[in-house]
Amino acid sequence: MKIDEDPKKPTGITFETFLPALPLRLEGVASKLYQLAWAEGFDDTRVEQMLKSLTPAGLVRDDLTRYDWVFYLPPHGTTSVVLKEVMDKGMKSEKMGFFERAAIKSAMLVFRPVVNKAVEGMRKGMMFRAILEAESKWNEGDLDALSKAYMQELMPDLKPGSGDEHGRALAAIEKQKIANAEYAKDPFVKPERLATFDPAAYVPFEGEYGSNPAKPGLRFKREGDSFQWDRISSKDTPPRLFFPAGDRLLVNEKGTLTIRFLLDEKTGAVTGVEERWVRSRRTIPRKAEVQVPVVVAATKT
């Protein structure tokens, strides 16, 4: 959730703002603390006193261990309270006048069913993931992908005649299962950087990449003994540094994203670049320019 990204124009809206409206899986210490608060009737004063005197021994008992999965659902009406807070903070940061604020609030009343549907879709999605996590053998990445596919079908799309929502959700899950199996054949693996390499060997890859010749794309360029791979239009973000990990392969500082340059088999000219990260990949063509054959020599330790 992209919240308060611009420090020059803070809205006061943070992830904690939305937290009261989110369904949460109760497990570990969170589950035990919830049960202790439950025993105190969720009275703020009594819960605070209980927490001050809490010892490790008080966290031993857990009456919910007999269940496969347990999750917390926010009380009825919590979503409305959170949305009101978001609206108030957002309009305050924009310094809106009385009539503008009134217009937005009127629009929210019209779109209330859409908002409620989105929240309900999120709620079902988190419940779906909790059940999968308890009863399936999928790994973390597969669980995320399946839950996302399911939740997307439950989100409002404002399109008439959307058809059988339940059927579409089941179809999306089956489609994602196939994608999970394909990913398992070739998962993303963090490559090791090359210990020695010739920076000049990567000069043929320098230039612009993008599918639309008329719009700014991405640029690969050398910066000392490292390289940068960034959007041409991104002036306010720090440069992304990449380091050689193979003849045509480079990896970012954290090892979470790789770029591999693609060559024409006949001419050796650079035709594009493939970006890869966990569970995702995309190919970006090189913009038309003078091409030279690539000859690189690099070694791994």
Domain boundary, last residue among 185, 215, 243: 185
Q: Please state, in angstroms and rounded to a whole number, the distance separating the CA atoms of residues 253 and 261.
A: 18
Is residue 167 domain-shared with residue 216, that is, in the same domain? Answer: no
Q: Please state, in angstroms and rounded to a whole number, the distance separating the CA atoms of residues 32 and 59.
A: 6
95 pLDDT higher than 80:
no
What is the structure's pLDDT at 248?
Answer: 95
- In three-state secondary structure terms, 6 is coil
Is residue 170 domain-shared with residue 249, that is, in the same domain? Answer: no
Is residue 203 domain-shared with residue 181, that is, in the same domain? Answer: no
Tokens read off for 156: 């409002």
pLDDT, tens digit (0-9, with 9 covering 90-100), for 40-73: 999 999 999 999 999 988 888 888 888 888 888 8
- What is the extent of the structural domain holding 254? 199-285
Is residue 33 domain-shared with residue 150, that is, in the same domain? Answer: yes
pLDDT band of residue 157 (cuts 50, 70, 90) is: confident
Percent of the chain's residues with pLDDT above 90: 43
293 pLDDT higher than 60:
no
pLDDT, tens digit (0-9, with 9 covering 90-100), for 231-262: 887 676 788 999 999 999 999 999 999 999 99
pLDDT, tens digit (0-9, with 9 covering 90-100), for 116-137: 787 778 778 888 888 888 888 8
Report the Cα 59 to chain-centroid distance in Å: 33
